[in-house]
Chains A and B, each alone.
Chain A
C-alpha cells in the first residue's frame, strides 16, 4: 500500500499541477488539495454506504416485502444541508484564490506579449525590441504580466507547473500574472483545439535569475549576426531571393515578414516547430526540403530548393544564434 502511494506520489511530482513552481500555481494546488480531500470523503461515504447496503440488504429467497419507507425528513435535511455547507465553503475559497491568482491587469504595460499562431507562439518584449518564438524566457521572483492575443483561431496558454491557463483570442486581449519561484525549464502546450497541428504547439518557459534574464533580453534585442562563412553568406542571399522574408523577420536584414516566427536568433532556441524536434542542422534540412512531410498542415510552403541551396540556407539559419 505504502509502495503504491509512494509510486503515485512520484508520478505526480513529474510535470504536473501538483508540482507548483509559481505562487499562482501554488495557490491553485493548495485549493485543489482541499478539494481532493473533500471529494475523496464524499466518494468514500457513497461507496461505503453502498457496500454496506449491498452486504446487509441483499435479498434472500423467501424474504417478505420490506417495510415501505417513503421518506425521512431528518435524512433529507442532512442530504441538503451538508452538501450546501461544503459548497458554500468552497465558493468563498474559490473567490479568494481567483482574486489572488487573476487580478485585473489595469493599464500596466505587459512584460511579454504572447501571440498565438497556427501552430507556434510569438513572444515580444515591449520596450526592448526582443522577439522570440516558442521558448519564452521570464525572470523569477518577479510578478510578471503576460498579455495574450491570437492572429487566427483561439489558442490557449497552459504551463501546468506555472498555474492557470488562459485563452488567446483573435480580436481580444487577455492576460495572466506569473510569479515564478525557481529557475528552470517548464513545459506546456496549447490547450484549446486550434486545427490540424494542435498537438505540436508546445510551449517552453525558461525561468532565469533576474541578471541572467536581463542579459538574455539584452542579447535578444540585438539584430542578427552577420554571417561570416561563404556558405552562410550564400544562404543569406538565397533567403532574400526566395521570398522567405515575406513571412519571416530577421532583424538587421531586409526580411521583415510578420506571419512566420522571427528567426533573428533562431539557432539559440533548443527546439524547433513548437516543441516537435530539437534544433539541429539535420532537422532543419528535412524541414526545408519538405515542410508538409515534417509537420503536415503547417503554413510554410514547399519551395523545392536545390540540395545546394538547402545546405546554404541551413548554414545561414543555424548560424543565427
Chain B
C-alpha cells in the first residue's frame, strides 16, 4: 500500500524561522494551527475565570432575599457581562480552538488552508474580548443583558458607553469567527488526504464542517444588528427607536435569527467531540454514521426556522406562533436521534470510563434534561408561563454547561495528552469530574423549581416568598462547589504541563489520524499518511498491520 507524502506549507509559516523555544514571541507570531488552537483554549479558560467570577458575585447577591451587597446598577452589568462572556468569549473560542487544532490533524493536513487568516481571526477575537472588558474602565459595562433588547439598549435607557463597547467588541469577535468558518470550510473541502472521501470524514470534522456553514449564515444577522445599534446610539439613527419610527421587535428578530443558530453553533462541535470519545472508549464505530451526520445537517437547517420561540410572549398571533412551535418541536427529533445513536454506540461495547468518557456519559443525562426542558418552550402555552424565569436559566445552563461544556471537557481530557504531550493523572481528572457534576446539578436543578414558583430571571433581589430562600441558598452553595472545581481544573492542567508524565503518541488506542503523529505533534504534522478506507483510518492501519505495537496499554494510564 502506498503512503502519501504530505508537503509542508513552509512559505506560510513565518514562525518556522524562529527556534523552537522562543517563548511568547513565537506564540504571538505563530500561524501554526496547533498553537492558534491552543491559544483559543487559553483564551476560553481566561475568560471563563472572569465570567465565573461574575457568576459567583451574582450567586452571593442572590443567596438571601433583599440583599444589598451589590447595587442594581452593578448587578445588571455583572449578569450582562457573565452571559456575553460565556457565549462569545468562552464557548465560541473553545469550540473554534478544538476545530482549528483538530480538523487539519484529523484529515491528514499540515495546516489550515489560510494560516495567516487563522492567526488574524484569533487575534481579532481576543482584541474584541479585551475591548468589551475595557468598558468597565470607560464608564460602565453593558447592562441590558446578553441579548440586549431594544429599546433598553438605546441611549436614553443605557447612557453609559457599555453598549457601544458591546457592539464594537462583538463585531470584532464575530468577524474573526466568520473568517475562521471560511477557513475551516476550505480546509476540510480542499486539504483532505486525497483518499479520504466525505463519507470517511471523522464525525468531529463533519460537525465542524456543518457548523462552519451555520456560522456563515447566522453571524451576518448579528453583525448587521450590531452595526444598526451602533448607528442608533452614535448617529441618532432610528432602527430600534420607537419614537423615530423604528421597531423594538426588529432587534429581537435580527438577534434571534443569529441567536438560536448560535446555540447549535456551540453544541454541534461538542456533538462531534462526544462521537469520537464514545467510539474510542466503547471500542466500537459510531452507531449509524449516516444518521448522526444527517441529524447534524437537519439541526443546522432547522436552526434557521425556530427563532420566534424566543418571542412567543411578544403577542405575534396564533398562526406565527403555531408555525414556530412546530419547527421547534421538530428539532427535538434529530437531537433525540443523536442521544440514541450514542447509546447505541455504547451498547455491546467494551466501555472504558476514563475522565473523558465519564464526561461524555454524564453528558447524556444532563443534555437530555436540558433538551427536554427545551422542548417545553416549543409548546407555546408552557412557554407563556415559563419564559424569562429561572426555569429558563436552569434550561440554558443544562444546555450550555451540561451539553456544550461537558462535551468540551470530554474533549479536553481526551486530547490533552496529544496537545501537551503530558498525562493528566486519571485520579485527579475524576476528582474534578465528580466535584463539577455535583456542583453543577446542585446549582441549576433547583432553579427549575424557582421558575415554576414564579421567580423571574435577571432580578438583583427578591422578596422572601415561601421556599425562595433555601432554594437560592442551595443554588449558591452549588455554585461555589463549581467555582472551586474549576480552580482545581486550572491547577491540575498547570501541574500536568509543568511536571506531568510524558504522554505516548496514542494513549487511548484511538481511531483517527491525529493519534498517528507525535504527542505533541511537531510543526509538520505528518510526513506521510496511510490511505484512508473508513472514518477510522488509524484502526484500519492497526488491523492491516498485525504486528502493530501499542506504545502503552490504555489500561495502565494513570
Contacts and interface: CB of A to CB of B under 8 A. Distances in A.
Contacts of A68: 284-285
A143 interface: no
B289 A43 contact: no
Contacts of B382: 28, 31-32, 35
Contacts of B157: 118, 152-153, 195
Interface string B301-340: 0000000000001110110011001100110110011011
B463 A169 contact: no
Contact of A39 (B282, B330, B375, B459): B375
Contact of B454 (A16, A72, A83): A16
B350 interface: yes
A58 B332 contact: no
Interface string A34-63: 010001001100110110011001111101
Contacts of B462: 199
A75 B459 contact: no
Interface stretch (B19-27, B360-368, B494-502, B517-525): B360-368
B389 A66 contact: no
A57 B347 contact: yes
A174 B386 CA distance: 18
Given A46-B368, A71-B288, A199-B460, A66 B149 contact: no
B364 A158 contact: no
Interface stretch (B68-76, B95-103, B168-176): B68-76
Interface in B163-203: none
Interface of B: 71-73, 76, 144-145, 149, 151-152, 157, 242, 247-249, 282-285, 287-291, 313-315, 317-318, 321-322, 325-326, 329-330, 332-333, 336-337, 339-341, 343-344, 346-353, 361, 364-365, 368-369, 372-373, 375-376, 379-382, 384-389, 449, 452-454, 456-463, 465-467, 555
A117 B196 CA distance: 61
Interface in A113-141: 118
Contacts of A226: none
Given A193-B152, A196-B72, A59 B351 contact: yes
Contact of B313 (A153, A166, A189): A166
> Which A-B residue pairs are the 6 nearest by beta carbons?
A164-B384, A174-B315, A199-B459, A59-B350, A171-B242, A193-B458
A72 B340 CA distance: 12
A104 B379 CA distance: 19
Given A87-B330, A158-B389, A195-B144, 19 more contacts: A46-B339, A59-B351, A66-B282, A69-B348, A79-B337, A94-B325, A98-B380, A104-B318, A152-B157, A153-B157, A154-B149, A163-B385, A165-B313, A166-B313, A191-B389, A193-B458, A197-B72, A199-B460, A296-B72
Interface in A195-221: 195-199, 202
Contacts of A163: 384-385
A248 to B, nearest CB: 21
Contact of B388 (A35, A97, A156): A156
A69 B346 CA distance: 11
A241 interface: no
Nearest to A119: B72
A84 B333 contact: yes
Contacts of A39: 372-373, 375-376
Interface stretch (A7-15, A230-238, A305-313): A7-15
A66 B329 contact: no
A80 B152 contact: no
Given A79-B340, A296-B71, A46 B365 contact: yes
Interface residues of A, number: 89
A154 B255 CA distance: 16
A313 to B, nearest CB: 26
Contacts of A198: 72, 76, 456, 458-460
Contacts of A93: 379
A297 interface: yes
A169 B248 contact: yes
A151 to B, nearest CB: 10
A170 B318 CA distance: 21
Contacts of A11: 449, 453, 466-467
A43 B369 contact: yes
A154 B315 CA distance: 12
Contacts of A83: 332-333, 336-337
A193 B77 CA distance: 12
A254 to B, nearest CB: 28
A202 B329 CA distance: 32
Nearest to A295: B72
B456 A172 contact: no
A111 interface: no
A27 interface: yes
B370 to A, nearest CB: 11
B222 to A, nearest CB: 19
8 contacts: A39-B372, A39-B375, A54-B351, A94-B379, A95-B318, A163-B384, A199-B462, A297-B73
A153 B154 CA distance: 10
Residue from B321, B330, B350 with most neighbouring chain A CB atoms (10 Å):
B350
Contact of A98 (B144, B318, B460, B555): B318
A35 B76 contact: no
Contacts of B353: 54, 58
B454 to A, nearest CB: 4
A32 B85 CA distance: 33
Nearest to A39: B372
A91 B284 contact: no
A37 to B, nearest CB: 12
Residue from B71, B72, B76, B283 with most neighbouring chain A CB atoms (10 Å):
B72
Nearest to B79: A193
B152 A194 contact: yes
Interface in A75-121: 75-76, 79-80, 83-84, 87, 90-91, 93-95, 97-99, 101-102, 104, 118
